[in-house]
Every structure is written in structure tokens, then in C-alpha cells.
Structure 1
Amino acid sequence: MIRDTSGQDVQLTPASPWKNPRLLKRAGLGVAAAAFVVWGLMSWQSTNAVDASVSLSRLNIAAVERGDLVRDLVVQGKVVAANSPTLFSPAQGIVKFAVKAGDTVEQGQLLAEVDSPQLQNQLAQESAMYNKLSVELARQKIQAKRQRLENTQKADLAKVDLTAAQRELKRAELSMEKQIISQLDFEKASDDLARAELEYKQAVQNSQLENEALTFETQTLQLQVDQQQLQVEELQRKVNELNIVSPVDGTIGSLAATQRASVAANTPLLTVVDLTSFELEAAVPENYADDLGLAMEVEINMGGRKLPGEITAIAPEVIDNQVVARVRFTGNQPKNLRQNLRLTARVLLENRSDVMLVKRGAFLDQTGGRFAWKLNDQQQAVKVPITIGALGLNQVEIVSGLNEGDQIITSAADELEKAQLVALKD
């Protein structure tokens, strides 16, 4: 009988590999090797994660610090005469110049004459009318005196009649008591006294009214004379202005008419430039127009010298995207200033104290002031977002994104254009 294999099979329990010291040692070595490989890969990836590399010799580095920032604006300007009056013809006529363009003149010096027969004839007519009215006024005053005397005489005669009537009434009263006169004569004396009183009263009132009327007529004529005198004085002033004199010490800038030319009234004739007083006419970009203000301090650069000044006028219109401002020298004006001399001016717009700031550089134009590359301790530069504030001539205010003591790249480079992490090489 053949026996089957059931008796040959023996069930065995597998042993746990964790209980074998040799296997545990090998597993530990494997894990350590894998960790080393992963660390190496990560280190290799970290080393090669930079987007670009730039030599430090090509870059400018600046530190963020805290201090005072002066917000300013540098503009170009030209020197112009602060006082350059243009003289006009006072009337229609023929002009005769006594000077030429470029001549040096003094205040009060005769520059030109305008021959105006029409104005001179008008002055003569008005003067004659003034003399006529003056004579009439004198005649009116004499007539008024004569009339006042007549009025006074009438009042005095009425008073004499009144006095006589009063005496007649007293005489009639005495005669009536002695029965010398009749009742009719007494009453007649009373009526004569009443009539004399009335005539005297009316004579006084008429005298007062006529005196007032004479005074009124005299005053009316006096006003006419005064009015005519004003017209004569005005015409005389215009005739005197036919001799055109220099209002200031200076130089003749230009002649607007030719010699012996016929000119109309209020026609410009010539310009006098006062060389003792100059101002700077500066062109300011229109986006800074709202920041300008009168009496704002200005620092004028003239051949390395810094001269103080202030804004005295701001043009209300914008021409070619610029606003013209006038700057006056506040200190002693330089003696070597010339018309149309080109100078640089620094307008002090604002002064901010205790703010974070950094040196101004080309990185502002490259990123529009929105980013900066900050240096880390691994000789790398990381692109970080920033917010800038006021812009100064040499510095810029940092509102956020950087801290005091941080170092950033202030110059521009093509490698930084799209790089997030930049390696810096010596």
C-alpha cells in the first residue's frame, strides 16, 4: 500500500525579521543612505534655484536707514528782468525817438516825443472854455454882491417905514386921549403900522430867499468851472505825456516803431529793461504744479554757488506740459547776471523727518518703484515688493517692504529684469 504525502508536510511559523539583529543593521544603513541621497538632491536643487547671477562689481548697494528726507525738484530756468516796462503812445501822432535799441538810459531821461496836433488843439479849446467860465463866475459873484446889497436896502427901508408907523401910532394914541384927532385918523394910523410890519417882514424874507438863490447860482457856476478845470488838467497831463521818459534806470530793449512813424493811441513804442533787478523764470512739469506755492524756498545753482530764492508768481496756464514759475533772489543779487542766462534751480517742495529712506537709483525706473532686490546672508539678492513715498533729489522714502538696516541693489541690470533670486559673484 502506497502512502500519500500528507504525512510529509509540516506547518512552520515564519520568524519575524525585526528580531534578527543583522537584518536591522542592514535596514538602518539603507535608511541612512537614502536620507543622504535626498539631502544631496535637495542641496543640489537649492544651489541651482537662482534665476541669474550678477557680478558685484556691476552693482551699487545701499543700506536702508532712518533720517530726514527733503522732497525737492530740480528744474531749468533762464534769467529775465524783473522789471521791463513797455511804454505806449498816449495819443495819435508822429513819434520821434531820442534813443536807439541797446542804449543805456537813466530814470527821467527823454526817450521819445509824440507830436499830436489834435490833442494840443483840444487842450487849447478846453483851456479857453475854462477861462470863459472863470470870467462868468467872477461876474456872477459881483452880481450876487450887488443883489444882496439891494435886498438889504429894501429890508432896511421897510424897517424905517415900520419905525415911522410905530411913532405915528403913538402920536395918534396921545392925540386920541386929548380928543385932538378923530377916531378915523386913529384907526388909519393903526392900519399904517400893520401895513408897515407886514412889508418889513416880507422884505426880510424876500432878502433871505434871494440871497439863497444867488448862493445856489454861484455854486452851480463854480462846479462848472471846477469840472472844466479837471478836463483841462487831464488834457494837460496827456500833453505832458507826449514827452516819453524812462521810468527806471536800464537799457532800451527794443523799438516797436520806426522813426517819424504815424502811431495810434495806446500803440507800444519801446521797452526799457531794468538791469538792476533780475528773476529766474523756471519751467516746472505740470504734474508738480499742484505742489508749488508762493514764497516756497528755492536753491539756485550758479557756477557751483548756491543762491537762496523764493517763488513769487506761478502761471495759471499749462504750456507744452509745463508751468512757468517766477523765482526772486532773496539774498544779495549776483552782479554778473545777464538776460537769458541759463541756471539750474532746486525747488524745496517738502521736508519729512524721521522716515526710512534709501539712496535713489536706477532700480526705481526699472521696476516703477514697486520692487527691490534685498541681499541675504547667502550672497544672494531676493526680489521683494516695496512701497515708496516721497522722492528726493538723492534719496527715496521707503513706506513698506524693507526694514532699517536692509541692503538692496540700487542700480539696474538686465539680469534683474525677470529674476526672483539672484546669485551675487565677487
Structure 2
Amino acid sequence: MIRDTSGQDVQLTPQSPWKNPRLLKRTGLGIGAAAFVVWGLMSWQSTSAVDASVSLARVNIAAVERGDLVRDLVVQGKVVAANSPTLFSPAQGIVKFAVKAGDAVEKGQLLAEVDSPQLQNQLAQESALYSKLAVELARQKIQAKRQRLENTQKADLAKVDLAAAERELKRAELSMEKQIISQLDFEKASDDLARARLEYQQAVQNSQLENEALTFETQTLQLQVDQQQLQVEELQRKVNELQIVSPVNGTIGSLAATQRSAVAANAPLLTVVDLTSFELEAAVPENYADDLGLAMEVVINMGGTQLPGEITAIAPEVIDGQVVARVRFLQQPENLRQNLRMTARVLLESRNDVILVKRGAFLDQTGGRFAWKLNDQQQAVKVPITIGALGLNQVEIVSGLQEGDQIITSSADALENAQIVALRD
């Protein structure tokens, strides 16, 4: 009998590998080692992609939003009197002041008087000449009336002679018909009538010409009188201006001459400051000069109070890199003093519904060409941007960013040449 291997085989019941403690322990160690390796690789790859890191406490972050941007400019200025006329001497003479510097004056009040004997003497001479011409004009009018009467008389006498000659000719004609007179006497009567008629016509014409000549001479003398009257009135005006009065209510700013001193014609004497009207004289950098315009809106800061104003004048020249602009107060405040320093905000432009972000030092660090935008991995990525108008607190973003993005608005040394920056808590 041949023996087989059935006696050697033993049937074993299969067991689950998770019920084997050794196998389970080895498997767990292997999985943990693999996970550690994967985490290390990911951490190494992430760290190798970051150029620098910066703490969140050291940077400022702002959100990009949509809104209205006001482009403005903050300038410093001083309060000056809008009306401060300087009064001049009307003629050469000796000045006598009735006020002192700093005195309050009213409109029409006597401020100074200039004693000018030369001007007063000239006025007296011209007044005498005016009186003389006025008398000559009156005499001329009387003479013209007399001459007109004589001319009229001559014309009337010639008319009488003409009438007498006409009657004599009629008698001669009747006598000639009755043959009482000779032909010679009749012809003589005819000649006398013709002569009388000619003399009458010449008398009338001479009277008209002489009357026209008299009228012309009278008008010429009248024009001389009128001209002299204007000259006297002008001198009288200058003499009246020797008493210098205040043109406004205000105060005396300064005296340009001393008491009882000799002054020349048109020499400055004093300045009157109108304290009821002030303006702000602001110095604007020359690179903003082209943006300024008349009637441009200005907000003036006076001790925390915002006062409205507008630009009324812009200087045509640049001095020390600045352009001087005059700003008028739309509401004149109280307690203003000359040379008082103030800050003003000039509203250059207003743009509605634009993409904007808070203004920060990143503009100076990159020249407004780049920004560091935050992503969802607690990183800031450097992206190119294009900026538009610059406001006092905000800047317009033309391209490169969208509404809702967050960027770093401050500057840091770690951001200088970094493309990706890790943000630490």
C-alpha cells in the first residue's frame, strides 16, 4: 500500500491583517513616515517659492473699493487785506498828517493835507484869466447886438430908398404919358430905381455876412471861456485833493513820509487797510500751477472750522518754485487778523465711480508702478498697476487691481525686491 501526503496537510483558517498587532504596528509606522516625507516636501517647496517674509503688525493693509475720488491740494497761506489802497500826494508841497499809524479811521475822514503854494497860485492865475475871458465874452455879445442893429438899419434904409425910387419911377411914367417930362428925366428915374434895388440887395447880403461873422467870433470866444473853465475846474479838483481823506473804513497801515516834510507830486503818503475784507494769499507749488483756475473751490481750515472760499487771482510768475494765488472767503469770518497763517485745501478735480485705494507709502517705494496683493495662502504677490489721479487720502487705480482686492499700502525693506512675500502673524 502506497502512502500519500494527506496526512501531512493541515487546513488553516485565514485571519484579517488588522487583527495582527505586529502587522498593524508596522503598517502605521510606514504610513506616518510617508506622511512626514510628503509634508516635508510640500513645506520645502512652499518655503522655496517665497522671497521674503514680513510681520502683519509691521504693514498696513487696505481694500480696493469703488467710489468717488476728490483730487485736491493742501497749501499754506496767510491772511491779507483784500483792499489796502495807498494814497499819494496830488502835488508837490509840505505834508501835514492828521493821523498816526494804527489809528482807526472812517470813510471820508481827513487823513492828511498837502500845502502846495505853487498849485494854489496857479489856480488863482487861471481863475483870473477865466474871469477876463468871461468879461470879454460878455462885451463881444453886446458888440454883436449893436452891430446887428446897425446892419439891420442899413438894410431898412436901403429898402426905404428902393420904395422911394419905385414911386418916383411911377410918377415919371405918368408924366411921360402926359409929356410933362423929357425922355432924359424918365431914364434918370429908371436908373435911380435900379441903383436903389441893387443897394438894397447888397445891404441885405452884407447884413447876413456880418451877422455870421459876429456869431463865429462870439462862438470862438465862448470856446475859449469853456476851455479856461475846464482848466480852472481841474486845478480846483487838484487843490481839493490836497486834503486827503480815507476811501474806506479801516486802519492806517503805515506812513510813507514824516510830519511836515516836503513831498513830490505822486509820492506815496500812507496806506489804509480795509479790515472788513480779507483774502488768503496761498503759495502753490509750481507743478500744480497749470491745474489752478479762477473760481476753483477751496476749503480753508481756521482753527478746526472749515470755511468755503474760491480762487480769485493767480500770479503770472513763479517765485522760488511757487505760484501765489488769492483766495476769497465766501463767508467773511470774524476775528481775522492780517498775516494770520492758515491751511487751505484746493479741490482740483472730482472723479465719480472709480476704482480707488487708500494712499500709502507704497506709491513712493515703487513709483506707483507695483503693489503687493494678498492671496488666500497668507502671501502678498507683487503685481504691476497703473495709477490715475492722486487725492489727499486716496489714489485712483486704472489697471492691475479689482474691487475687493487687498494690498499692502505701507512700505517695508522686505518688499523692495520681493515677488512673493509671506505674511507672519
Residue deviations 1:29-83 (CA, integer Å, cap 9, x gap): 9999999989965751332322211111121111111111111111111111110
CA distance in structure 1 between the partners assigned to 2:30 and 2:68 by the alignment: 62
CA distance in structure 2 between the partners assigned to 1:252 and 1:321 by the alignment: 33
CA distance in structure 2 between the partners assigned to 1:89 and 1:308 by the alignment: 39
- 1:14 Cα deviation from its structure 2 partner: 37
Question: Is the partner of 1:13 in helix, strand or coil?
Answer: coil
Structure 2 matches for 1:74-89, cutoff 5 A?
74-89=74-89
CA distance in structure 2 between the partners assigned to 1:16 and 1:58 by the alignment: 58
CA distance in structure 2 between the partners assigned to 1:129 and 1:320 by the alignment: 58
CA distance in structure 1 between the partners assigned to 2:201 and 2:138 by the alignment: 32
Aligned CA distance change for structure 1 residues 165 and 23 (closer, same or farther; 3 Å):
farther
- 1:316 Cα deviation from its structure 2 partner: 0.5
CA distance in structure 1 between the partners assigned to 2:205 and 2:213 by the alignment: 12
- 1:264 Cα deviation from its structure 2 partner: 0.6
- 1:178 Cα deviation from its structure 2 partner: 1.3
- 1:418 Cα deviation from its structure 2 partner: 1.9
CA distance in structure 1 between the partners assigned to 2:333 and 2:13 by the alignment: 112
Aligned CA distance change for structure 1 residues 9 and 139 (closer, same or farther; 3 Å):
farther
CA distance in structure 2 between the partners assigned to 1:17 and 1:173 by the alignment: 186
Residue deviations 1:240-292 (CA, integer Å, cap 9, x gap): 11111110000000111111111111111110000000011011111111111
CA distance in structure 2 between the partners assigned to 1:117 and 1:2 by the alignment: 174
Question: Is the partner of 2:18 in helix, strand or coil?
Answer: helix
Aligned CA distance change for structure 1 residues 232 and 3 (closer, same or farther; 3 Å):
farther
Aligned CA distance change for structure 1 residues 205 and 12 (closer, same or farther; 3 Å):
farther
Aligned CA distance change for structure 1 residues 409 and 179 (closer, same or farther; 3 Å):
same
Question: Is the partner of 2:389 in helix, strand or coil?
Answer: strand
Residue deviations 1:277-326 (CA, integer Å, cap 9, x gap): 00110111111111111111111111111111111111101011111010
Residue deviations 1:164-192 (CA, integer Å, cap 9, x gap): 11111111111111111111111111111
Aligned CA distance change for structure 1 residues 365 and 338 (closer, same or farther; 3 Å):
same
CA distance in structure 2 between the partners assigned to 1:7 and 1:186 by the alignment: 213
Kindly indicate whether residue 103 of structure 2 is the aligned counterpart of residue 103 of structure 1: yes
- 1:13 Cα deviation from its structure 2 partner: 42
Residue deviations 1:103-156 (CA, integer Å, cap 9, x gap): 000111111111111111111111111111111111111111111111111111
Residue deviations 1:328-379 (CA, integer Å, cap 9, x gap): 11xx311111111111111111111111111111111111111111111111
With normalisation by structure 1, the TM-score equals 0.90
Structure 1 gaps, min length 5: none
CA distance in structure 2 between the partners assigned to 1:57 and 1:35 by the alignment: 33
Aligned CA distance change for structure 1 residues 245 and 3 (closer, same or farther; 3 Å):
same
Structure 2 matches for 1:185-200, cutoff 5 A?
185-200=185-200
Aligned CA distance change for structure 1 residues 173 and 3 (closer, same or farther; 3 Å):
farther
Pick which of 3-12 and 341-350 moved more: 3-12
Aligned CA distance change for structure 1 residues 222 and 4 (closer, same or farther; 3 Å):
farther
CA distance in structure 2 between the partners assigned to 1:236 and 1:341 by the alignment: 43
Aligned CA distance change for structure 1 residues 279 and 187 (closer, same or farther; 3 Å):
same
CA distance in structure 2 between the partners assigned to 1:344 and 1:185 by the alignment: 118
Aligned CA distance change for structure 1 residues 138 and 368 (closer, same or farther; 3 Å):
same
State the match for 1:250 in structure 2.
250
State the match for 2:389 in structure 1.
390
State the match for 1:425 in structure 2.
424
CA distance in structure 2 between the partners assigned to 1:13 and 1:290 by the alignment: 98
Question: Is the partner of 2:68 in helix, strand or coil?
Answer: strand
CA distance in structure 2 between the partners assigned to 1:2 and 1:155 by the alignment: 201
Aligned CA distance change for structure 1 residues 43 and 184 (closer, same or farther; 3 Å):
same
Q: Where do 4+ consecutive residues of structure 1 move more than 3 Å? A: 1-43
CA distance in structure 1 between the partners assigned to 2:11 and 2:192 by the alignment: 187
Aligned CA distance change for structure 1 residues 19 and 252 (closer, same or farther; 3 Å):
closer
CA distance in structure 2 between the partners assigned to 1:2 and 1:121 by the alignment: 177
- 1:205 Cα deviation from its structure 2 partner: 0.7
State the match for 1:403 in structure 2.
402
Q: Percent of aligned pairs with the same residue?
A: 91
Aligned residues: 424
CA distance in structure 2 between the partners assigned to 1:20 and 1:96 by the alignment: 127
- 1:234 Cα deviation from its structure 2 partner: 0.7
